[in-house]
Structure formats: C-alpha cells, structure tokens
Structure 1
C-alpha cells in the first residue's frame, strides 16, 4: 500500500559516492513510501558501463524494505531508462521517448517508443512517468489521464527552473493527480504537487483527495 510520497536529490560528488548515497536513501525508506530521484541522477550523461549500472540496480533492490518503492533513471542498453524498484525487483520500466536534442541526447541515447508512456498499476495505485523534456508535450499528458500519481524525474536546466515548476503544477491540476517532481545534476528541485495545485516537500497519499477534486471539477 502506497501511503507517503517523497523525492530526494543527491549531494555527493562522483558517481561512486552518489551511487552509495542513493543506496543509503533507498535503505531509509519505510513500507508505504514511494520516492523519486532524478533523471540520470548517479552518472549524468556519462555511461559507467553495464556492470556498474546493473550492480547499482541490484543493490538498490536489496536495500529496499518490503512495501517501499524507488524510481530513478539510468543508462541501460543505449537508452535512458526509468525504473520503479521494490524489494521484489523492477516493478516497471520505461525508456525516454522525447530526447532533448539541444543537449545532444539523441547522440547519446536511442529514443524509446511513445507506447511505453502508459499507466501502470502498482499496489492498486495508477502510476505514470514523464521523463524530463517529455513534460513539455501535452499529448503525452493525455496518455496518462486517469493516473493517480505521475512521476517526473528530470535533469532540468537551472535557467529554466520556473518552467519545470509551472509545468509540474499544471500537470497535477490538469490530470487531477499527484505529481512528484525531482531534478538533479543542474537544477536541484524536488516537490510533490497535489491535485488542487498545492505543493509540499513530502505528502501523504490520499486517494480521496484525488476523487473529491475530480468530482468537484466534473460538476463545474
């Protein structure tokens, strides 16, 4: 059962230290926690090799308590892949579809397919993901209509910080859901946006807040 929503940015320098910090954060999560870390939060655009990435994923899975969930993205077989992990393993994964060409992402990663952007049911909760630049495309918001929680891991540019905040809040309002936003590496930002547009660093997950707000909006 998911009961708490939170996010975390890493403070360590260097991929090995950041990987260790991420594992420590994973081990601190309690049953019922759903936490988000940033896009490519350990290594940035640098690939650390398949063994390092797979070992990190396995260590995170082993660090999580039963009933706790952690999402982040990493290099995986040429893709920028988001994974939602639990003590049982990978709950679901999704490759980034919209690559930010101004940063040369299309020269580093292969693009995932739009069909991977969909709602996944985890512990009875409908969860979707938009990875960084994908947040700018309304047609992708529509693919996640009906989600209870949308995760937005990012490596957003600090000079465009307002865009990330405004779009994440608008997504929560438009899709009438919780949005967990976490940007690392350049812009340091983490926040939970509620269906009514309010925000907090962490938030209790309350399905009634979603249902009540959706009902109120539908009656307007």
Structure 2
C-alpha cells in the first residue's frame, strides 16, 4: 500500500495507469469497465469520512484536492482517502462546496481516460454517499450532504424491502461485463420486480 496526494486524481497519466491496473486485476480489457469499477472504490473512499461525520453530527472533513491523502492498493484501487482538515463550525456549506469542487475536477478526467460517461460517474458518487450513510445508520446524512454538494450530483434514493432499508441505486458498476461475473443483486439494470424479489431474499 502506498500513499499519494489527492492532486494525482486529476492527472491523466496517473489515472490511466491505475485504471489499467484495476482492469488487469479484474481480467477485463474494457477501459470503461475498469474505469467504472475503479471509480466505485474511489467515490466510496472519498465520501466515507464526510458522510460518517454528518451522521454523527461531528466536524466534517474538507475534501479539497490539496488536503487529501489517498492509500493506493497494488491493484490500483483506492483503499482509503484521508482529509487533513475539517470545516470550521460556522462554515455550514464549506464541506459541500469543497466536495463539489473536487468532484468537478476529478470526474471529467476519469471520464476522459476511461470512456465512462460523466452522468454515470456522478451517479456512482450519489450511491456511494447513500451506502456510507446507511453504514452509519443515518440516511438523512446522505440527503443533507448531496443537497449541499448540489451541481450535477443526483440525490441518493432509498427503498424499504421488508424491514431493511437499502439504496435504490441509480448507478451501475459494470461488473457484469467482466468475464465470469454476474450482475449485482441491486443493479438498476435489473427489472424492478426481479430486483425487489432478490433483495427481499436477503432481508
């Protein structure tokens, strides 16, 4: 595991190399697939600390590119992203603005080197926020954070299946396009009834 500065998330050469590593690890030669799988990891790592802080009512990190440290796995994936600074108590919108600016800088670069569509990459972020909020037991944290980020970020959506609340995903990780892999249970590309039935089996 190595640690690199967040600014590298906007470096086309570095992104190409990491996405290439991820693609080889998954056994796919499709850059769009490898790039999307890679971005799913990055998005989750990027919003985890912020969403957890929102859920706990604690000071939230400022995810500006120059304040990020990224832990990179041997397969190119981002295991964890640490923000070195937090917002002041009276800076209600600073966290959302910082995250929006970082995403606005990174998403176009990931799209350019991988061929993934920018709306699809923004949707991955929305689902990541939703999942991290569920992990923290506070779906309202996802709603609040997404609203403060605004811009091109869709609002996370939730649905209750039986007694369990899950993210009603709007993004696809494309793992089913990897040889030997299947579509995720919660994939939005599944028919609605089929998806609900499969999720109900897990509740």
**Coarse TM-score class (shorter-chain normalised):** 0.3 to 0.5
The structure with more helix, counted as a fraction of residues: 2
The structure with more strand, counted as a fraction of residues: 1
